[in-house]
Structure 1
Amino acid sequence: MRYREVLYSNYHTTQSGRASNTDKTTLFQREKRQFAREILPRIQGKSKDAVIFDMGCGSGSLLKALQDNGYSNAHGMDISPEQVALASNMGVSNVQEGDALEYVKSQKNAFDILFGMDIIEHFTKDELVDLLQHIQQSLKPGGMAIFRTPNMDAFLSSVFANGDFTHENYMNASSAQQVCLACGFREVKVYPGLMYIENPIKEMLRKCASLIVKLRLRLYLFATARSSKNVLWSPNMIIVAK
C-alpha cells in the first residue's frame, strides 16, 4: 500500500516523536525506562543468552533496555530508515532496516523471544493472521511472543487506537486471545499495560483519578448486565503468547 511507503519513511518526525516537546534523547530514555518497568518483568528468569528479536523496533528503546540488562543476543528490524538511523544515534546495536514481516516468514524455530511493541495494530486482519502464524512457527520450542497494542476496552480508547493513521485493526483482551489461539499458540495471557507518571505527585493524583474512573466504568457495565471480571482498563494491553 502506498500510504505505508509515505508515512513510514519519516515516521518518527510525523508520528512517534511529534507529540512530545522533549528532545529525541530525553524521549528515548523515557521510553527505555517505560519498557524496563513494563516489559522486562515478563521475561524474568529467561537466559541472558536467549535469542531475542524485536519486530518493528522503532528507535530501539526496548532493545537498549534489553542490552543494558545483559541480553546479549537481542536484535531488531524496522522498515523506517529514520527510525533505524535514530536507533544508531542512540547507541543501539544490532538494528537493521528492512521488512520485519518478510524476515519473520523466513525464520523457523529461530527465536526464544519475539517482541512486537505497538506493531500488530498496523496490519490488516488478513495480514495479522498470516503474521501470527509465521511468528508462532519462528519460535523455538518453549519460546514466547510478547506484543503491546491498544486496548479497545479502555476509557477513551480512540485516543490511542485512532491517534495513528497507520493503524488497521483494534482488539480487546478477548479478541487478542481468540486470534492468537486460532493462529497456533497454545497459551495466551493478556495483561494491562503500565500506567505510570514519573512525577510522584502527579502519579499519586493519577492513581486516585483511576480509582474513580474504574468505579464508574464498572457501574456502567453492571447497569448493562455485563461483567467487568475480564475487562482491562489500561490504554495498552500486553499479550504474552506461547
Structure 2
Amino acid sequence: MKVLPINKDKNILDIGCGFGQTLKALRDKGYTNLKGIDINDESIAQCKKINLDVTKVEDIISYSNSTDKKYDFIIMSHVLEHIEKEKMIDNLRAIKSLLSEKGKYCVMVPNAQSNTGSYWRFEDFTHHYLFTSGSLQYVLRAAGFTKIDFIDPDGLDGVSSLKKPVVKILLKIYKFRKNFWNKITASSYHRPSPQIFTFELKALAS
C-alpha cells in the first residue's frame, strides 16, 4: 500500500484485525510498532499464536476511552459497514481521537456504486450500511476529518504492467457504458460524489 508511513517505527493500529493478515504483512515489511484490536475471541487467539500484539475490545469507543496512546496510521478494512448507522459517526470520532497530530486513517469499505454493490449489501447479513464515495466523504467530514483522498480509484494497484493497459481500456468502456445508460434513463449522481466503480472504496482521511 503506497500510503503507508515511510518511517517503519511509526505506531500503526489495525481496527478489526481479524486473523492478523494485515499485521503480519506489515511486520514482514519491517514495521515494528503494530497493534491490533478485534471483538472476536477466535481471531485474537490466532493472532497471538503468531506473536502479534492484539487486544480484544467490545467496541472502538470503549478502546479510545481506555488508552492515551496515539497512532500515526490507523487501518480499518471492511469494518465500518458492520457498525450500526446511528453509531457510525461517534465511532469515527473515536477513531479520530486515536490519531496523532499528523496521523492518517485508512478506511476500506465495499462500494455501493460498483457492479457488485447490491451483492455486498445483502450477501453478508451483518452489513448495516454500504457507502458510495459521496456518503463516505459525508460521514468522515461529519466526524471531523477535513482532508479526504480516495486511493487507487481505478483499482490498478497490484495489476501487472502487462495487464494494466488492457484493464485501463476495459475501465473506459465500462465508465462510458455506465454514463450512457445513466443519461438514457435520466439517472443521476448526487454531485460532487466521485464516480468510482471498483468493488471497494479506499479513503485516506486526516
Residues in 1 aligned to 2:159 and 2:188: alpha-carbon distance in whole angstroms: 34
2:144 matched residue in structure 1 = 184
Report the identity percentage: 26
Residue from 55, 61, 68 that aligns with 2:15: 55
Q: 1:193 to 1:165 in 2, by over 3 A?
A: farther
Residue from 182, 189, 195 that aligns with 1:231: 195
Residues in 2 aligned to 1:111 and 1:196: alpha-carbon distance in whole angstroms: 25
Residues in 1 aligned to 2:123 and 2:161: alpha-carbon distance in whole angstroms: 27
Aligned residues, how many? Answer: 201
In the superposition, the TM-score normalised over structure 1's length comes to: 0.72
Residues in 1 aligned to 2:85 and 2:24: alpha-carbon distance in whole angstroms: 30
> Which structure 1 segments of 5+ residues have no match?
1-39
1:65 matched residue in structure 2 = 25
Q: 1:203 to 1:222 in 2, by over 3 A?
A: same
Q: 1:205 to 1:54 in 2, by over 3 A?
A: same
1:215 matched residue in structure 2 = 176
Residues in 2 aligned to 1:63 and 1:206: alpha-carbon distance in whole angstroms: 30
> Which structure 2 segments of 5+ residues have no match?
none
After superposition, the C-alpha distances for 1:30-70 in whole angstroms (9 at most, x for unaligned) are: xxxxxxxxxx211253x211111101100111111111111
Residues in 1 aligned to 2:53 and 2:164: alpha-carbon distance in whole angstroms: 35
1:98 matched residue in structure 2 = 57
After superposition, the C-alpha distances for 1:198-219 in whole angstroms (9 at most, x for unaligned) are: 8999999866654443331121
Whichever residue aligns with residue 233 of structure 1, its letter is: F
2:89 matched residue in structure 1 = 129
| 1:56/1:117 contact within 8 Å kept | yes
State the SS of the aligned residue for 1:43.
coil
Shift of 1:225: 6.4
Whichever residue aligns with residue 203 of structure 2, its letter is: I
Residues in 2 aligned to 1:61 and 1:103: alpha-carbon distance in whole angstroms: 21
Q: Does 1:86 align with 2:50?
A: no
Give the 5 Å matches for 1:129-168: 129-168=89-128
Between structures 1 and 2, the one with greater helix share: 1
Q: 1:61 to 1:209 in 2, by over 3 A?
A: same
Q: 1:153 to 1:108 in 2, by over 3 A?
A: farther
Residues in 1 aligned to 2:123 and 2:28: alpha-carbon distance in whole angstroms: 31
| 1:193/1:235 contact within 8 Å kept | no
In the superposition, the TM-score normalised over structure 2's length comes to: 0.83
Whichever residue aligns with residue 215 of structure 1, its letter is: F
Identify the structure with bigger relative contact order (alpha carbons < 8 Å, sequence gap 6+): 2
| 1:55/1:115 contact within 8 Å kept | yes
Residues in 1 aligned to 2:2 and 2:157: alpha-carbon distance in whole angstroms: 15
| 1:153/1:172 contact within 8 Å kept | yes
